[in-house]
Amino acid sequence: ETGVTQTPRHLVMGMTNKKSLKCEQHLGHNAMYWYKQSAKKPLELMFVYNFKEQTENNSVPSRFSPECPNSSHLFLHLHTLQPEDSALYLCASSQDGAEYGYTFGSGTRLTVV
């Protein structure tokens, strides 16, 4: 247990479904991140939130919609995804930016069928 909890661990969804990924951190960190990791590829930074405000959106398609209601919770809303969106989605948190290291959750393995 890293202190960053992601649910669900596995998700299979159709291309017309709407689902949400949840991330919760119990570390008192002020920054939270969504990363995508496709098979045999490096982690790709998707979104960054600092003190609930989105500070980074790395040209992510609008079918991915993040939400950060408070500094402990982060959601990734998914709709009309494509099979190529199948990947491991990782949430991370940090305090005062990345200088002191990220703490990652175990990820959600998403399969789009």
Q: Is 92 in the site for other proteins (CB under 8 A)?
A: yes
**Nearer residue to other proteins within complex by CB, 44 or 67:** 44
| Nearest CA among 23, 30, 1 for reference residue 107 | 23
| Token digits of residue 89 | 């989605």
Footprint of other proteins on 41-80 (CB under 8 A): 41-43, 45, 48, 50, 56
Q: Report d(CA 29, CA 73) in Å as an integer.
A: 11
Question: In this chain, which stretch among 40-48, 61-69, 70-78, 79-87 interacts with other proteins, using CB under 8 A?
Answer: 40-48
Footprint of other proteins on 3-32 (CB under 8 A): 4
User: ∠69-63-30 over CA atoms, to 5°?
Assistant: 30
User: ∠42-44-48 over CA atoms, to 5°?
Assistant: 145
Please report, as ranges, the residues that interact with other proteins according to CB under 8 A.
Answer: 2, 4, 33, 35, 41-43, 45, 48, 50, 56, 88, 90-92, 96-107, 109
